[in-house]
């Protein structure tokens, strides 16, 4: 007897004329479930929509219990036994809980009422609210209702798109218990999620997507949450720091849209210099997983290039360097300081917030380096206060101003940066940027002053 519920072969999907999933191969046996992880835009939702018939399939096949259904309409797939809970719940706000379930049921009235009661037994919180309209429910209750709607017709296969999105930790645990109960009742579940640890218990199979491709497939027991988080952020199966640290960092910065390439509408810096590129490292603070991965990569870089246990404290330059210094200090288990741009008060510590011992070896941390000028000011402030500075770490080094490393080197300081514009261009060439855009940026990087002169606004 064939106990395979779902077989996806060589599946390629399209959304709004853009390819979203590539060469997907998945086999799920009866009662098995799968969790899909990936960064935003990795293809999680696109894969679910392709299975449900909401996105076009350019090639490949999908079978359920041996029956091809990739050419069926969404309605036909629902009748075949597929339930779908979309991201964002998509409820009708004016319908009550009971009405939402009633209009979603495809059987007879007597069967409908019995099935709704079964749903209420599984989700007693909804029974209490059965006469309330969807808009009046809490976020967690709305998610319960969306899941209930997807399961009302007892589907063989249930697709859940980020069911814990926007929920509190307590409600996340409750939703996961509900999903676990549905799985125990015999349904096959495919769930796209961002919350890694609570989701692993659901998945007999775990896949990680990056740019629409499966980069990892295995069981939840074969991999730990940190490894999954690293793959999600770097888009790499085995993020080996020695192999390509700079490109991994550049990939993350592109993913969180901290990188801006705009040759046709150049940026004007405060110095008056024109540039076709701009990096906004401050965006990192709003992306916890991105900053966690970047800071861990930073510590690994420092261990490789500066040595282990060589620093006594970490200092951040006002203002942009302060959060990065705090995160690096936390990972290194070291005290943190911050250096003011202007003195406050008197004495040699007038620019230093925090305390350190005489001759302490201090790591200066900043967000980025261009020509290195501001770094020298911070370095001098630390040295004037009695500290030593031999190393400076930045997330991003422009890499096209030779004076940045030369000025710091002449001051006895080594500069350590995760990536440069040259690294970004290598990664950008694999994305949607045109050859003309990339060549324009290369032109700028090779001679920024000449490029600026030729592109001055009239």
Output 133 or 450, whichever has higher pLDDT: 133
Give 244's pLDDT tier (boundaries 50, 70, 90). Answer: low
> pLDDT by residue (tens digit) across 357-368?
998 999 999 998
Contact 409, 416 (CB under 8 A): no
CATH class of 4-234: alpha beta
> pLDDT by residue (tens digit) across 398-421?
877 666 678 888 888 888 999 988
Residue 76: pLDDT over 60:
yes
Residue 67: pLDDT over 90:
no
CATH topology identical between 4-234 and 245-443:
yes
pLDDT value of residue 306: 84
Give 243's pLDDT tier (boundaries 50, 70, 90). Answer: very low
Contact 362, 379 (CB under 8 A): no
Residue 380: pLDDT over 50:
yes
**26 phi and psi angles, rounded to 5 deg:** -145, 140
Residue 242: pLDDT over 90:
no
Angle between helix 97-104 and 139-151 (nearest 10)? 20
Residue 268: pLDDT over 90:
no
- Across the chain, which distance is largest between two alpha carbons, in Å? 85
Peptide bond into 319 cis (omega under 30): yes
Average pLDDT over residues 117-122: 90
For the whole model, what pTM was predicted?
A: 0.58
Q: Where are the domains of the chain?
A: 4-234, 245-443
pLDDT value of residue 346: 65
pLDDT value of residue 239: 47
Mean pLDDT of the chain: 86
Tokens encoding 395: 């997330």
Query: Which range, of 227-241, 367-381, 383-397, 444-458, averages the lowest pLDDT?
Result: 227-241
pLDDT value of residue 454: 84
> pLDDT by residue (tens digit) across 130-183?
999 989 998 889 999 999 999 999 898 999 999 888 777 788 888 889 988 888
How far is the C-alpha of 240 from the C-alpha of 37, rounded, in Å?
A: 20
Q: Which 8-state DSSP code applies to residue 59?
A: E
Give 389's pLDDT tier (boundaries 50, 70, 90). Answer: very high
Give residues with Cβ within 8 angstroms of 154, minimum separation 6: 115, 187
Query: Which range, of 33-47, 92-106, 320-334, 429-443, averages the lowest pLDDT?
Result: 429-443
Residue 283: pLDDT over 60:
yes
Give 240's pLDDT tier (boundaries 50, 70, 90). Answer: very low
Domain 245-443 belongs to what topology?
A: Rossmann fold (3.40.50)
In sequence order, the β-bridge partners of residue 8 are: 26, 62
pLDDT value of residue 238: 53
Cβ atoms within 10 Å, residue 53: 21
End-to-end alpha carbon distance in the chain: 76
Average pLDDT over residues 376-389: 92
pLDDT value of residue 6: 87
Residue 80: pLDDT over 90:
no
Percent pLDDT > 70 in the chain is 93
pLDDT value of residue 431: 78
3-class DSSP assignment, residue 337: strand
Count CA within 13 A, CB hemisphere, residue 402. 3
Alpha helix segments (H runs only) across 63-138: 74-80, 97-104, 109-122, 124-128
């Amino acid at each position: 007897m064939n106990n395979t519920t779902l077989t996806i072969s060589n599946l390629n999907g399209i959304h709004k004329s853009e390819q979203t999933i590539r060469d997907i191969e998945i086999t799920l046996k009866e009662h098995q479930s799968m969790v899909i992880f990936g960064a935003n835009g990795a293809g999680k939702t696109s894969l679910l929509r392709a299975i449900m018939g909401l996105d076009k399939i350019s090639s490949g096949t999908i079978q359920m219990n041996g029956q091809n259904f990739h050419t069926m309409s969404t309605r036909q797939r629902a009748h075949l036994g597929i339930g779908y809970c979309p991201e964002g719940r998509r409820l009708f706000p004016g319908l009550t809980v009971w009405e939402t379930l009633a209009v979603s049921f495809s059987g007879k009235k007597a069967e409908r009422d019995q099935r709704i009661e079964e749903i209420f037994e599984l989700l007693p919180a909804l029974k209490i609210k059965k006469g309330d309209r969807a808009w009046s429910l809490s976020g967690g209750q709305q998610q319960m209702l969306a899941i209930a709607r997807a399961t009302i017709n007892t589907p063989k296969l249930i697709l859940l798109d980020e069911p814990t999105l926007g929920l509190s930790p307590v409600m996340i645990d409750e939703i996961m218990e509900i999903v676990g109960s549905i799985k125990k009742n015999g349904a096959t579940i495919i769930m796209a999620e961002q919350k890694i640890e609570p989701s692993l218990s659901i998945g007999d199979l775990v896949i990680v997507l990056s740019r629409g491709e499966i980069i990892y497939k295995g069981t939840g027991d074969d991999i730990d949450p940190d490894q999954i988080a690293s793959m999600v952020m770097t888009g790499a199966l085995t993020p080996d720091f020695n192999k390509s640290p700079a490109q991994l960092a550049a990939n993350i910065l592109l993913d969180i849209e901290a990188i801006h390439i705009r040759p046709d509408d150049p940026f004007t810096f405060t110095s008056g210099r024109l540039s076709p590129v701009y990096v906004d490292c401050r965006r990192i603070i709003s992306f916890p997983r991105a900053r966690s991965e970047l800071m861990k990569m930073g510590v690994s870089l420092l261990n490789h290039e500066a040595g282990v246990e060589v620093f006594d404290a970490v200092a951040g330059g006002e203002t942009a360097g302060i959060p990065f210094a705090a995160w690096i200090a936390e990972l290194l288990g070291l005290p943190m300081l911050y250096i003011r741009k202007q003195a406050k008060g008197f004495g040699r510590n007038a620019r230093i917030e925090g305390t350190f011992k005489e001759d302490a070896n201090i790591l200066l941390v900043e967000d980025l380096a261009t020509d290195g000028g501001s770094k020298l000011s911070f370095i001098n402030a630390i040295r004037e206060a009695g500290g030593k500075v031999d190393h400076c770490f930045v997330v991003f080094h422009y890499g096209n101003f030779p004076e940045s490393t030369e000025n710091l080197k002449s001051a006895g300081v080594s500069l350590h940066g995760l990536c440069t514009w040259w690294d970004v261009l290598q990664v950008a060439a694999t994305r949607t940027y045109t050859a003309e855009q990339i060549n324009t940026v290369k032109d700028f990087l090779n001679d920024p002053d000449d490029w600026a002169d030729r592109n001055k606004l009239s």
